[in-house]
Each structure stands twice: as C-alpha cells, then as structure tokens.
Structure 1
C-alpha cells in the first residue's frame, strides 16, 4: 500500500474512532453534567411558580407533586425521592404542609441544600390554635420561630406579601447557588414582584366595598387570603383536606349561611365537594370552586394558567359572591 493510500486509510480510522468517542453515552453524560444547569426540586405549586419566575433559563426547576393531585395527601415514591436527592436544592413549603418532607430532609445527601420556606414568611396560627390560646391565655409567640405541626396555617402563599417574600428569598438563594447568573435572577425577581404588587392592589381595591364580607368554604385553606383582605373566614373542615366535619359543624355553617343570607359557598378545587354541595342544597346557596393554589390541574397548566391568572379568577368569584362594588 503506497503512502497516499495509507494516509487516506489512517484518516478514515481516526474519523471512525473520533465519531465513536463523540457518541459515547459516558462522554455525553459528562459533557451535559459540566455544562448543564443545576436542578432545584420543589414541593408545592406556589414554590414552583416563584422558582421558575426567578430562575428563568438559569436553573432547571422540577415539581415533585404530580399535576391534579391533592398536595395534602401526596407521598413521594422511590424515584421521586431519588430525584430530590440528585437536586442541588430542595425547597418545600413547611409549616406541617408536607409531612413526608420533614423526615426526608434528614436522609438527603449533604450535596442537596434544603430550604424550608415557612421559616422566611409571616405565618398565622391556625383557627384551632387561636381558639386554644384564647382559652389558655397564652403569651405572644414569635411568628418566625420554629413551629409544631398544626400550630400554624401552612397556606401562606395566599397572602400576596408572602409571595413577595418567597421571591426575594429565592433570588438570594439562587444567586448563591449560581453566582454567575445572580444579576439575571435579581432582574427576574424584581419583574415578578412588580406583578405581585399589581395583583395585591387589585385585591385591596376590588374587595374594599362589599355587601358581604364572609368567606365560607369546605376546607380551611383561605385564612391568609381572608386576613389580608379583611374578610371573615368560616370553614367546614380544618387544615387537612381529608378531615371529616361533624354534623354539629355542618349545622353551624348552615345557620351562618341562612343568617347572613349568603348566596355562595366555596369549595376547594381538586378535593371532594360533597359537604359544600350538601350545605348549598339546604340553604339555597350555590357552590362555587375556589382555587387555593396548592396544586393545579393538567388542563390549567396547558392553558397557561399561573398564580397571577388564577388569583385574578378567584378575585372575580369573590367579588361576585360578596356583591362588591
């Protein structure tokens, strides 16, 4: 074989070896790992929304709870636990909302940073806790101190001020996780906070003058929304969506509805609305779905629904039910 043919043959062999090396799964995985984005796993929809708003295209945000499921009743399977373990950061709601997360955090590797968001927002005590304190004459508790399960209402994202705080916290945490993108994260956070402040103004003006200021629902998920907008919150069941109300509780709610001549009873989307429907039949009121944003359905995601759009839909329903001007 002459020198020219040897040169061509050698070039072909080198090209084949180079191609095999380029398409090697092991090498591709290494390249993706070095050039890829850090992964952050979150538990609830509100955390997922804020994380995406702040991260932009800088971080890969994964939601652990499946779309359309009751977030209260969720427990991760082994593959979901593995996904959390592989994440650079795990952010969960806290305040007793995800009972599974509390124990899981003790088993995660040191490479996974853990953020309990409830430690960074303004919490309010559950109705049951307020009642117990009134009876016992208990002293003032620090809102930001560590808390027991059930002592605080975990639905804090329905107070828009808390959503703003959550955005600020993620801005800081993501900037420490990926300093090279800090400026982008901060810009994204400011943009989202501006949208939240606009939403807050819409609620305060939209619910300023209403004929009725009582919000009755089947599940005590709307305490923060009620408190932030000076509404009276009456729920048939407590903070856990699988709780069964007593006949006495149902009878009391029926009495309140009739006394105030209320025309609407709200029930939480994604959980059973039998109790609200029963009360509606007994009182002549209508049952209307209100979205507490613990999770969203697949249809809502496909139609590009967000915290902002769903909260505006909630506001529309509240204004109609409470006959606001």
Structure 2
C-alpha cells in the first residue's frame, strides 16, 4: 500500500472514530446512592439496634463504640470524633453512661443534631442515690435534664418499655430528618414495637412463677430488668464496671448465696468475671454469663444476634437459675 492510500485510509478511520464519539449516546455517571443517605451515629448497641430497625436501608447508621469492648471504659480517638462530626444526628445513651459524650458534643457544629436518649425514657435512681434521698426508684421521662452521673442507673434499655420509648423517639427524629421516608419509618417502628411487646409478654409469663426471685450479678447492670420483672437485684459492684469490691462485700454476697441456696451467679460477659468466679467457688454455685446489651462481641455479630434474640437467651438463663415453671 503506497503512502497516498495510507493517508486516505487513516483519514477514513479517524472520521469513523470522531463520528462515533460525537453521535453516540452519552454515558451517565453512576449515582452513588450511599452518599445521599443521611448519617446517624449512635453510641451503644441498644441504640444501634433501634436505629437499624426503624431506618431500614434509608439511613446510614454507625456505632461509635467498637464491638467487643467494655462500653463503660470507651473513649473516642480524634479520628472517631472527626467521623462523628459528619453525622446529621448523634444519639447517645446519656444518664452518665458515656462520660466522653458531654465533652465531644460541645465540639460539634449545628449541622449535627445531638440527642440524649435518657431524656425520653423512664429512669430509675441508682442504688446510692436512692439510699441518700429516700425517694422512689422510677423517674418519669420528663425529668428535664436534671440527671447527673451517678444519680440514675443508665442501663435503661433492659426495661422493654424503655426500648419502645426509644423506638418512638427515633421514628420521630428520622421522620424529621428525612420526611420523604416518614411513612416507611412509621411502619418499621410499628413492626419493631410489636416484636418488643411480644418479648415483654414472654418475660411476664416466663418469670411469673419461680422458686426464687433473686438475681445476683458481679456488676449492677440489671436493675431495670429486675425491676420490670419484680426480681430482687443484688450486685457485687456498683454501676462502674472498673470498681473493685471490698472483701467484706464479697463475704456478704457469699453468705446470701449460701443462706438462700442459690445455684447461679451471673456475670457481665464483656467485663472481668473474677469476682463471680470466686463467689461460685466459695458457694458451689455456677457462674453464668448474662448479656446486659451495652455492647456485643464479634462472635455475636457474626451469628446475627439481636436485642430480641439476646434478651430471649437471658430469659432462658434466668428461668433456669430461678427454677421457674
């Protein structure tokens, strides 16, 4: 092929390419729908559970406290705080549970709405506060922010009625955040509340008739569960998971276990269980894990455990320990 033919052939090819480029339909860029979803950050597992149940796939929900860690002892690093600042909503447990939250929320801009969920549930006074002021245990939801660390027991999600209140609050907040999905949120919330009411009925029936009604645990995390189900709650240490019990306290618990012929000592899975194991050895009782649902482990996540399933496991263990019919 001579030079002239090569030039002509090349010109034809170039014209075809230019024509295809000009006349071909334009490819639209792929829309990343994930980027359009608002981000909601929550602190504890119970809040994560409710947020996911209500939001479905309409909102990106993330948890701040890493799985498998003791939620009492957590403190966010600068990267976690920076990620938190990108959230449309930051929802935390409150009632003194996350000591870090009070400081962090002051660093957030008005673009991030902050919700203290403890303002929307029925709180109980901590044992220490109750003994000091002599008032009743339960405090209505309208306590107008007068709670302070140590005044109230912050494990309120173990009362199923409070989980229902939490669901209603998230439904309202998500509907304001994303009005176009409000009907979806209302439907999801109603479905989840139905599941919670069913769980509550199972507890009422399951713990209705028991040989003993005393729950002994290493950490005072089960007060709401005990109160809601008319159980006596005895704990070796208080609300702080890093508290060290005195020898006198441990000795007293051993006497109580022996006196009542109790066969089970419960301990919180994600904190040190040495005290429970010691009492178990001294009394011949079994040390059994009970889930306070502050957080879950990686294994529990992989096995698709939820608040509902873990609470049912707790019920099974309580029924066995208390010899319920």
TM-score, scaled to structure 2: 0.91
Once the two structures are TM-superposed, the CA of residue 13 in structure 1 deviates from its matched residue by 6.1
Indicate the residue corresponding to 1:145 in structure 2. Answer: 144
Indicate the residue corresponding to 2:130 in structure 1. Answer: 130
From the superposition, tell whether residues 149 and 14 of structure 1 become closer, same or farther in structure 2 (CA, over 3 Å): farther
C-alpha contact (below 8 Å) 2:122/2:139 kept by paired residues: no
C-alpha contact (below 8 Å) 2:122/2:140 kept by paired residues: no
C-alpha contact (below 8 Å) 2:123/2:140 kept by paired residues: no
Name stretches of at least 5 consecutive residues in structure 2 with no aligned partner. 1-6
Indicate the residue corresponding to 1:204 in structure 2. Answer: 204
CA deviation map 1:74-108 (0-9, x unaligned)? 11111111111001110000000000111111111
From the superposition, tell whether residues 108 and 281 of structure 1 become closer, same or farther in structure 2 (CA, over 3 Å): same
From the superposition, tell whether residues 141 and 37 of structure 1 become closer, same or farther in structure 2 (CA, over 3 Å): closer
Indicate the residue corresponding to 2:100 in structure 1. Answer: 100
> Which has the higher Rg, Structure 1 or Structure 2?
2
TM-score, scaled to structure 1: 0.91
Aligned with 1:124: secondary structure? strand
What is the rounded CA distance, in whole Å, between the counterparts of 1:68 and 1:142 in structure 2? 32
Aligned with 1:172: secondary structure? helix
What is the rounded CA distance, in whole Å, between the counterparts of 2:125 and 2:285 in structure 1? 30
Indicate the residue corresponding to 1:185 in structure 2. Answer: 185
CA deviation map 1:199-237 (0-9, x unaligned)? 000001100110100000000000000000000000000
Q: Report matched runs for 1:1-325 at 5 Å.
A: 7-11=15-19, 22=29, 32=32, 36-134=36-134, 144-146=143-145, 147-325=147-325
CA RMSD of aligned residues (A): 2.3
What is the rounded CA distance, in whole Å, between the counterparts of 2:290 and 2:249 in structure 1? 21
From the superposition, tell whether residues 184 and 255 of structure 1 become closer, same or farther in structure 2 (CA, over 3 Å): same
Aligned with 1:235: secondary structure? strand
Once the two structures are TM-superposed, the CA of residue 109 in structure 1 deviates from its matched residue by 1.4
Once the two structures are TM-superposed, the CA of residue 10 in structure 1 deviates from its matched residue by 3.1
C-alpha contact (below 8 Å) 2:211/2:323 kept by paired residues: yes
C-alpha contact (below 8 Å) 2:218/2:237 kept by paired residues: yes
What is the rounded CA distance, in whole Å, between the counterparts of 2:13 and 2:236 in structure 1? 87
Name stretches of at least 5 consecutive residues in structure 1 with no aligned partner. 23-27
Once the two structures are TM-superposed, the CA of residue 274 in structure 1 deviates from its matched residue by 0.1
What is the rounded CA distance, in whole Å, between the counterparts of 1:255 and 1:94 in structure 2? 35
CA deviation map 1:242-285 (0-9, x unaligned)? 11011111111111111111000000011100000001111111
CA deviation map 1:166-190 (0-9, x unaligned)? 0000000000000000000000000
What is the rounded CA distance, in whole Å, between the counterparts of 1:11 and 1:298 in structure 2? 57
What is the rounded CA distance, in whole Å, between the counterparts of 1:54 and 1:245 in structure 2? 40
What is the rounded CA distance, in whole Å, between the counterparts of 2:85 and 2:256 in structure 1? 48
What is the rounded CA distance, in whole Å, between the counterparts of 1:55 and 1:68 in structure 2? 24
From the superposition, tell whether residues 37 and 209 of structure 1 become closer, same or farther in structure 2 (CA, over 3 Å): same
What is the rounded CA distance, in whole Å, between the counterparts of 1:80 and 1:141 in structure 2? 33
What is the rounded CA distance, in whole Å, between the counterparts of 1:226 and 1:191 in structure 2? 26
CA deviation map 1:276-310 (0-9, x unaligned)? 00011111111000000000001101101000000
Indicate the residue corresponding to 2:3 in structure 1. Answer: none
